[in-house]
Structure 1
Amino acid sequence: MPYVDLYSKDDFVSICYVTNSAFGNVSGFNPEKPTVLILHPLFLDTQWLENHWGDPRFYDGCNLIAFDMRCSGRSVCRPSGRHDTWVEAADIALCLLKLRLPPCHILALESISTCCALRFAVLFPEMCLSLALCNVPSPTEPRSTLQVLDETMRRWCFAQDMETFEHAGLEAVNMLVGHECDPDLQDDLIAYWATKTPPSQRLRVAEPVGLYLNRTPLEPEVLALIRQPVLIIHGERNDMHSPENAEILKDLLTGVEGGAIVFTIVGAASTLSLDRNAASTLNKVYLRFLAERVPRVRSEIQSPPVLVEERMQKALTQLAEITGRPEMANNDPLSSISFSCLSDEAVQRQTDLLKSYLSKKTSFSPLGPDGKPLRKYSDRKGRHWFESGRDGLSVADPAFVSSYKAGIEKAKLLRTEASQGNDMHIELPSQSTISNELLKTSLAKVVANPANALERVIVTSPPTRRVSTSIIPISHTDL
């Protein structure tokens, strides 16, 4: 995979990117087609853009490029407590300048990507032809979401067994996709996270979470600087971020000629890219927006009019003026970390978070010797019979009820076949002849060790009758 290395005295990051050109690089772009930069959703990477990447309307009509953010996918970086969305915007600008890409249309998917795209359009307007923002987040996160996210992250990073790990993964799926997630997609997401961000790489979980929680809203006068055409797409049933956020942002984008356009996808929820139907609607609406609202521009790769350092210094100076922090203009312009706008308290908070996650060790790993997950989430065994339903309430899992009934019938059939197969007729003792203590001991053995396929339940027979016993296979589903 191609990479762009961004290094300086206080920062290093290697950004992985993918394109739809014949050889996977930007030199193969068709100058007659528009160039679209896609920013992937939070906690995912460019591998999860197939519903856009594989759409012929997109693939045949546009030059496509996407970057793995620093802490995502195949990109690698040095952990930093100063990481925020201004840093991510600087990463994008440095990559585009070093690759000598033409001005791009930006399609930002979900919360963090939306924040990065807005900041990029403010600092680098000549490099951004248009903005498409999907599922605009709220300015700050509600306290309830903060608690759920913090608990899920800690369970995931410090899990000591597979059940705790998978429960945290399920909570993350419910938060990002919704409780009505397709089981196959649920398996794929949990397997992906287990492979890319297992507990041994907990810093790659902690840093994006800190980035998400410590985001700050842009001031109205900063949003008024955006002049590019803007399309805002929002899911109607988005549980994480209300569709009202799209309308609020539209009203704040006063510098957009003709105003921003808001389109609501009926029936769609969070993370539109993971829903095939929602993604298809998104693609159709976005390509229509490009055709009708944005002037067509050629995508010819050419040398930038100014040096990379000069352009980044100009953006850094502008950011210093916007934030009222003139000392920022003296930072290294080739370091993305120089664009961080976090307060000293936020930097200290994120640094302490990273240190705490780095210091704690755990021996648990959800991966096997081959580096793959030990099992699918849907194939888990030993599930508790009382599980959380879609509404968050605990209900009896019907699978256990059906398996219990099936186990009873199976046991009866096996006993009948065993009795018919012996020369001597076997009269099974009645329940009254079984000692209660013996029954409890036998049941405890089966429950405590359900992996054993065979269990012999010894029954004391009357001394006047000689009984030939057979081994009857009993599994934990028979109980």
Structure 2
Amino acid sequence: MPYVDISRDDDYVSLWYITNSPSGHASSFDPNKPTVLLLHPILLDSTWLGAQFGDPRLSRDYNLIAFDWRTNGKSMSRYCGKQDSWTDAVDMALFCYALCLPAAHVWASEVTSVDAAVRFSILFPELCLSLTLLSTNSLDEVFRAGDELLQMWAGADDIETLEFALFQMVSYIVGTDVDPDLADELIGYFETSYPPFRAARLSQVSNRLVHRYPLSQKEHAAVTVPCLLIHGDKNQIHPLSRAEATVADLVNAKGGAKLFVIKGGQGYISVVPQWASISNRIFAKFLASQPHVRTKLGTPAEPLDQRLRRALDYLAELAGDSTLADAKEPLSSMSFSRLSPSVQRTHLDLVKTWARKQKSAWSPLDSDGRPIRRYSERKHDHWFQGDRNGMSYAGDL
């Protein structure tokens, strides 16, 4: 099974991954092709990267690999409240070391993946050939509104409440003009992956959204790899002005950071088919402009413990926090956490609270483990008809 297990005294995670190689494992990558590491959007998993894996402009010329973050998809982990974007970046490095991957082009979609990818390039530049960031640098207050929907979602006790929360979430992350079939797919995925009886896992995602800390100008200046930002100009979550500000902050990106704006693009542009095709074309063109680096699997010359200690010392220097360098277990991702002890306790307490509640939570799934109904079917279950925005009106009798 394609898992990477990372076990330490204070942490455990098993990261599920997929590739476009013949065997499905990294060991059968084509050595003549460069490698691209794809990071999926928050709330989804690597199965939602079909638009990228199925695009011959990428799958034909590159070794593609993606994994599920520790709070998503098939990946499993022990929660401790310390997870933040810096620990995610170290998860990426440990994943690459475990599979003996060479330096790769990193493609990241949406907020948590973008946050981790940028930090990965700062701490481990030798593993990162380039950065491509889709929808970046959102305002924290925007995501606090999304957190309210997550709370309604986790605590739903009937199908109407759950579907209302999920449709609002879909409209929030994909856009109000969401295709009905895509809405059905997303809502069905949310119902099976994060039903109320798995509210503790959903609260881990909520924790990641609420307590995000932006990079300083000094930290942005530490990014030295080539950078491409792709952004939709109609994105209601990620203002275009923030992407422009990020480009201005990436002063040391090789060749200068570049911004491509998709006209009319909104929501998760890696998931909505028309925006995904455009972003893939731009990404493929960007990759073609980079030096060709073959994929040579092998153990890095520098031992892992020494490399992580060096990364931890550098993080302490960037943060101006000498206590980070005092960590006794540099091999653990959790040693890189920048969250305060009080925030860590808040995260852990919230997850424990939802874990207790989920024991008696309502299930939106049938006996076969599938959703009771498709979201679109709700429009015809009574004489009130629902429009595409979820509002009901009285139809002709």
Q: TM-score, normalization: structure 2? A: 0.95
Residues in 2 aligned to 1:372 and 1:209: alpha-carbon distance in whole angstroms? 24
Q: Structure 2 matches for 1:40-55, cutoff 5 A?
A: 40-55=40-55
Deviations 1:36-70 (A, max 9, x none): 00000010000000111100111111000001000
Q: Is the 8 A contact 1:122 1:226 kept in 2?
A: yes
Q: Which has the higher contact order (CA 8 A, sep 6+)?
A: 2
Pairwise CA distance, 1:243: 0.8
- Mapped pair 1:245 → 2:239: no
Three-state SS of the structure 2 residue aligned to 1:232 is strand
Three-state SS of the structure 1 residue aligned to 2:13 is strand
Q: Which moved more, 1:316-325 or 1:71-80?
A: 316-325
Distance of aligned partners of 1:61 and 1:364 in 2 relative to their CA distance in 1, 3 Å threshold: same
Three-state SS of the structure 2 residue aligned to 1:131 is strand
Structure 2 counterpart of 1:364, from 351, 354, 362? 362
- Report the counterpart of residue 395 of structure 2 in structure 1: 401
- Report the counterpart of residue 311 of structure 2 in structure 1: 315
Residues in 1 aligned to 2:117 and 2:133: alpha-carbon distance in whole angstroms? 8
Residues in 2 aligned to 1:383 and 1:214: alpha-carbon distance in whole angstroms? 42
Q: Structure 2 matches for 1:114-125, cutoff 5 A?
A: 114-125=114-125
Residues in 1 aligned to 2:303 and 2:281: alpha-carbon distance in whole angstroms? 37
Residues in 1 aligned to 2:38 and 2:342: alpha-carbon distance in whole angstroms? 32
Give the number of the structure whose alpha-carbon radius of gyration is greater: 1
Q: Is the 8 A contact 2:88 2:116 kept in 1?
A: yes
Residues in 2 aligned to 1:373 and 1:77: alpha-carbon distance in whole angstroms? 25
- Report the counterpart of residue 89 of structure 2 in structure 1: 89
Structure 2 counterpart of 1:282, from 261, 266, 279? 279
Distance of aligned partners of 1:389 and 1:379 in 2 relative to their CA distance in 1, 3 Å threshold: closer
Distance of aligned partners of 1:388 and 1:130 in 2 relative to their CA distance in 1, 3 Å threshold: same
Residues in 2 aligned to 1:340 and 1:386: alpha-carbon distance in whole angstroms? 49
Residues in 2 aligned to 1:132 and 1:28: alpha-carbon distance in whole angstroms? 25
Pairwise CA distance, 1:384: 7.9
Structure 2 counterpart of 1:338, from 335, 340, 364? 335
- Mapped pair 1:30 → 2:49: no
Distance of aligned partners of 1:115 and 1:72 in 2 relative to their CA distance in 1, 3 Å threshold: same
Structure 2 counterpart of 1:267, from 252, 264, 271? 264
Q: Is the 8 A contact 1:16 1:74 kept in 2?
A: yes
- Report the counterpart of residue 305 of structure 1 in structure 2: 301
Structure 2 counterpart of 1:351, from 335, 348, 351? 348
Code of the aligned partner of 2:54 = G
Three-state SS of the structure 2 residue aligned to 1:141 is helix
User: Would you say how many aligned residue pairs link Structure 1 and Structure 2?
Assistant: 394
Deviations 1:407-427 (A, max 9, x none): xxxxxxxxxxxxxxxxxxxxx
Q: Is the 8 A contact 2:200 2:352 kept in 1?
A: no
Q: Which moved more, 1:77-86 or 1:378-387?
A: 378-387
Q: Which moved more, 1:327-336 or 1:194-203?
A: 327-336
Pairwise CA distance, 1:359: 2.4
- Report the counterpart of residue 183 of structure 1 in structure 2: 180
Code of the aligned partner of 1:26 = A
Code of the aligned partner of 1:190 = I
Instruction: Identify unmatched segments of 5+ residues in structure 2.
Output: none
Q: Which moved more, 1:359-368 or 1:166-175?
A: 359-368
Code of the aligned partner of 2:258 = I
Residues in 1 aligned to 2:65 and 2:254: alpha-carbon distance in whole angstroms? 27
Residues in 1 aligned to 2:274 and 2:94: alpha-carbon distance in whole angstroms? 34
Distance of aligned partners of 1:169 and 1:383 in 2 relative to their CA distance in 1, 3 Å threshold: farther
Instruction: Identify unmatched segments of 5+ residues in structure 1.
Output: 405-479
Distance of aligned partners of 1:386 and 1:56 in 2 relative to their CA distance in 1, 3 Å threshold: closer
Code of the aligned partner of 1:160 = D
Distance of aligned partners of 1:383 and 1:132 in 2 relative to their CA distance in 1, 3 Å threshold: farther
Distance of aligned partners of 1:168 and 1:383 in 2 relative to their CA distance in 1, 3 Å threshold: farther
Residues in 1 aligned to 2:204 and 2:100: alpha-carbon distance in whole angstroms? 29
Q: Is the 8 A contact 1:82 1:342 kept in 2?
A: yes
Q: Structure 2 matches for 1:44-443, cutoff 5 A?
A: 44-142=44-142, 145-146=143-144, 148-292=145-289, 294-331=290-327, 332-361=329-358, 362-380=360-378, 382=381, 385=384, 390=389, 396-397=392-393, 400-402=394-396, 404=397
Three-state SS of the structure 2 residue aligned to 1:61 is coil
Deviations 1:136-160 (A, max 9, x none): 1325233xx41x3233112211111
Residues in 2 aligned to 1:182 and 1:209: alpha-carbon distance in whole angstroms? 26
Three-state SS of the structure 2 residue aligned to 1:259 is coil
Deviations 1:367-420 (A, max 9, x none): 111111111111125458385764x9x5x53xx414x2xxxxxxxxxxxxxxxx
Residues in 2 aligned to 1:303 and 1:281: alpha-carbon distance in whole angstroms? 36
Residues in 2 aligned to 1:213 and 1:267: alpha-carbon distance in whole angstroms? 28
Three-state SS of the structure 1 residue aligned to 2:17 is strand
Pairwise CA distance, 1:178: 1.1
Residues in 2 aligned to 1:106 and 1:139: alpha-carbon distance in whole angstroms? 23
Q: Is the 8 A contact 2:201 2:351 kept in 1?
A: no
CA RMSD between the two structures: 1.6
- Mapped pair 1:16 → 2:16: yes
Deviations 1:412-445 (A, max 9, x none): xxxxxxxxxxxxxxxxxxxxxxxxxxxxxxxxxx
- Report the counterpart of residue 422 of structure 1 in structure 2: none
Q: Is the 8 A contact 1:98 1:308 kept in 2?
A: no
Residues in 1 aligned to 2:147 and 2:106: alpha-carbon distance in whole angstroms? 30
